[in-house]
Amino acid sequence: MSGSSPATSGCSGRAEQGTRGRAVASVADSWALGPAQGGPGRPAGCPGARGEGLDAAVPDWTVGVVVGAVVESEAQELTIVKMSKFGGGIGAPSKEERLKEAAKIHLGLGQIQRHCELMVELGEWDKALSVAPGVSMKYWKKLMQRRADQLIQEENDDVIPYCIATGDVKKLLAMANLIRGNELELALCVGTVLGEAASQATHYILELLARKYMTATAWDLAAHLLNMIPDNELLLIKLCAFYPGNSAEINDLHERCNLPSLEECLELAETAYNDGEIFQAVKYYLLSPEPQKALPIGIQFAKEQISSSDWTLDSVYPILDLLSYIRTDRLLLPKCSESYYAYVWIGLSITVVI
């Protein structure tokens, strides 16, 4: 019993050693295919040829190398289908299915860039972009630019976010022809992201949007938009002057715009007029319960200006611009008819001169 046990143990050990030797030989063959022909250097301790060091212990990393090489080979085989003109025949997986499987394998191996390129090949841009930062931010940005170029060629409005993400202002300028009609909300989003570089255009867009919401009776929203513009006092005055609500509603809007109440504006207007401050008088009369009083004061001032030989447009335009925001219902009052016609005449005269 005691003698047979070592023999059995020896046979078992030799069988195990033979199996281990074949595994090592397989590993050696795998490494010989690449490094021996100018590939990356073989790690230290790896057998250089079949039969060399067969009895040596097989390192753990060799198993991963072999498995990785086999799986990568499978992925490459699946990828070759994209260069093939014909499919794999009846019953074979389609080209799209093969590429998806290859992309999945590459991702599992950590070959993110190859995965991204296959996703692009399949038209899955969002999936490619979602993992592209795993390669590098430079690669992600390059992929975003490729996507933007494609959408520009398709004249697709969806290109805007991609241009913003990459900071490509030139492409955004090229997209101006896509912002047509009243797509002011989209233009505002672009301007907000661009920041200081597009501040002037953004402020103008905010003003246009406020006018749009004034006609849509969304006065609170219009006031909010105008409050986003610096030096917005005149814009807020025009908004409040044009508002057709009752006294309580007007005072509420004045408060939102940080302007005095109706009664306070009337007092300020009278004080300014007595002090000879015509522009201030017109401004506060427009915000008072009697906005029609601003019309004759402003018209008289404009007449005096254009009767002078050295008058300029800048000297009369601010007053006339404010007067244009008097509500129509106030202009229909009998006392305003003559002043209104004079206002129209002055406007036409200035237009002819210009």
The rounded distance, in Å, linking the Cα atoms of 105 and 111 is 9
Residues near 183 by Cβ (< 8 Å), separated by ≥ 6? Answer: none
Three-class SS of residue 149?
helix
> What is the structure's pLDDT at 156?
74
CA dist 23 → 55, 64, 108, 135 (Å) = 11, 13, 25, 34
Task: Give the start-to-end residue ranges of the domains of the chain.
Answer: 10-29+62-80+95-135, 265-354
Residue 145, burial from CB neighbour count under 10 angstroms (0-12, 13-18, 19+): middle
Q: How far is CA 279 from CA 269, 290, 294, in A?
A: 10, 16, 10
Is the distance from CB of 159 to CB of 186 less than 8 angstroms? no
pLDDT confidence of residue 148: 84
Write down the pLDDT at residue 165. 75
The pLDDT assigned to 105 comes to: 84
Q: Which pLDDT tens digit goes with each residue over 103-127?
A: 888 788 888 998 999 899 888 999 9
Question: Which are the contacts of 113, defined by CB distance < 8 A and separation ≥ 6?
Answer: 135, 139
Question: How many other C-beta atoms lie within 10 A of the C-beta of residue 76?
Answer: 13
Residue 84 zone, left/alpha/beta (φ > 0; ψ -120 to 50; rest): beta
Provide the H-helix boundaries in 80-135.
Answer: 95-108, 112-121, 125-131
Least Cα distance to 273 among 290, 259, 256, 257 occurs for 290
Which 3 state secondary structure label does DSSP give 204? helix
pLDDT digits (tens, 9 = 90+) for 133-142: 999 999 998 9
- What local confidence, expressed as pLDDT, does residue 145 receive? 86
**What amino acid occupies position 13?**
G
8 A C-beta contact, residue 213 and residue 219:
yes
Q: What string of pLDDT tens digits covers the 354 residues of the chain?
A: 444 444 444 444 444 344 334 434 444 444 444 444 444 444 444 444 444 444 444 455 444 444 445 455 555 555 555 545 445 555 556 778 888 888 888 788 888 998 999 899 888 999 999 999 999 999 998 998 899 888 877 767 677 778 777 776 666 665 555 455 556 777 777 777 767 767 777 888 888 889 888 876 788 899 999 999 998 999 999 999 988 888 999 999 999 999 999 999 999 999 999 999 999 999 999 999 988 888 888 888 888 888 888 888 888 888 888 888 888 776 665 565 555 555 555 554 544 444
Amino acid at 216: A
CA distance 179 to 194: 16
Cα–Cα distances in angstroms (integers) from residue 14 to residues 18, 76, 309, 346, in the given order? 6, 38, 119, 114
**What 3-state DSSP class applies to 2?**
coil
pLDDT confidence of residue 42: 47
Q: Assign residue 195 a region: left if phi > 0, alpha if psi is -120 to 50, beta otherwise? A: left
Q: Are 332 and 288 in contact (CB under 8 A)?
A: no
Pair 198, 191: CB distance under 8 Å? yes
Work out the angle between the directed axes of helices 233-242 and 199-215 (0-180°, nearest 10): 10
In this prediction, residue 94 carries a pLDDT of 76
| Residue carrying the six token digits 């019953």 | 91
